[in-house]
């Protein structure tokens, strides 16, 4: 059965927020999201490939292209909510020697699984791994040339505060890129996507990772995430200029970009 609810069907109450379709106390969401990612960490990369039929790799490569990396050896890049490090790996391939890549994520298991895999695969990457909350970044003002956040913002409790933080740590003329699930713009496709999200994803989660609930959360959290236009205005609200977005697969996923003027 498709358990679809419209964004407006759930009221937000003071002191509460949404965790998927559930209303939870604000302070509880971080813990619940933490449980999801601790639970999926071991199978995260495999599930990404299965769920998207590998297409997430294309979106990630495209994101790095659009990020327009400076080509000098002093570039500093933050891969926020970097998880198991797919984007950092692509970044490491594109930056000049001497550049600094910082992967920051709130979840120790996600970072640790990714870092161990890279070491086992024989990589020696110029990546600094940090455990940090996107809402309170432990970096000075104007520090990074680029901030990228891939499939992470959706999970953050206070998204506007996280965007404000990304603005703060970016240098003047620095760029932010958000790669995230978004709102499908095509009605027939949206019906198929709902069926896939609420039936196939939890089923895959159950048989591959013995964890249907985390993939049910994934489907719900996508529906609760601000759509393309709302996210664009949130970027502007944080102070970003030249804000625009690019849709993939009719808006299933979008890249949002902004510049700190
Ligand atoms: C779906 S994964 C994305 C990982 C990686 N960026 C990718 O594209 O494959 C979402 C990540 O966001 C992290 N996350 C959730 N809330 C966060 C927060 N408040 N601050 C930093 N990271 C957070 C999770 O721990 C998880 O690793």
> Is the pLDDT score of 104 beyond 80?
yes
pTM surpassing 0.85?
yes
Confidence (pLDDT) at 1:
33
Parse the chain into domains and list their residue ranges.
37-259
Express each pLDDT in 21-78 by its tens digit: 999 999 999 999 999 999 999 999 999 999 999 999 999 999 999 999 999 999 999 9
Ligand 1 centroid to 79 CA: how many Å? 10
The residue nearest atom 26 of ligand 1, judged by CA position, is 83
> Is the pLDDT score of 10 beyond 70?
no
Express each pLDDT in 114-145 by its tens digit: 999 999 999 988 899 999 999 999 999 999 99
Which fold is adopted by the domain 37-259? Answer: Rossmann fold (3.40.50)
Of all residues in the chain, the percent with pLDDT exceeding 70 is: 95
Ligand 1 centroid to 188 CA: how many Å? 30
> Which pLDDT band holds residue 14 (cuts at 50, 70, 90)?
confident
CA angle 230, 38, 198 (to 5 degrees): 55
Confidence (pLDDT) at 42:
95
Across the beta sheet with 100-105, what order do the strands follow? 127-131, 100-105, 76-80, 144-150, 170-181, 253-259, 241-248
Ligand 1 pocket: which residues have CB below 6 Å?
33, 37, 81-83, 86-87, 105-107, 110, 133-135, 150-152, 155-156
Phi-psi region of 111 (alpha: psi -120 to 50; beta: other; left: phi over 0): alpha
């Amino acid at each position: 059965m498709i358990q679809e609810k419209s964004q407006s069907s759930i009221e937000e109450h003071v002191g509460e927020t949404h965790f998927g379709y559930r209303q939870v106390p604000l302070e509880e969401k971080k813990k619940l999201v933490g449980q999801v990612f601790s639970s999926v960490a071991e199978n995260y990369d495999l599930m990404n490939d299965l769920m998207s039929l590998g297409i997430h790799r294309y979106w990630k490569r495209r994101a790095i292209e659009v990020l327009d990396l400076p080509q000098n050896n002093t570039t500093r890049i933050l891969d926020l909510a970097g998880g198991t490090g797919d984007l950092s790996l692509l970044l490491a391939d594109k930056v000049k020697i001497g550049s600094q890549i910082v992967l920051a994520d709130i979840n120790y298991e996600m970072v640790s699984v990714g870092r161990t895999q890279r070491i086992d695969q024989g990589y020696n990457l110029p990546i600094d791994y940090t455990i940090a909350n996107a809402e309170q970044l432990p970096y000075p003002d104007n520090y990074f040339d680029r901030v990228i956040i891939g499939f992470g913002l959706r999970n953050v409790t206070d998204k506007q505060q996280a965007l404000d933080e990304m603005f703060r740590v970016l240098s003047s003329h620095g760029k932010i890129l958000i790669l995230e699930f978004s709102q499908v713009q095509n009605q027939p496709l949206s019906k198929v996507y709902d069926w896939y999200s609420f039936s196939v994803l939890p089923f895959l989660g159950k048989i591959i990772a013995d964890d249907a609930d985390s993939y049910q959360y994934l489907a719900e959290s996508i529906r609760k995430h601000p759509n393309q236009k709302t996210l664009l205005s949130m970027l502007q609200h944080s102070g970003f200029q030249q804000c625009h977005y690019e849709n993939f697969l009719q808006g299933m996923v979008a890249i949002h970009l902004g510049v700190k003027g």
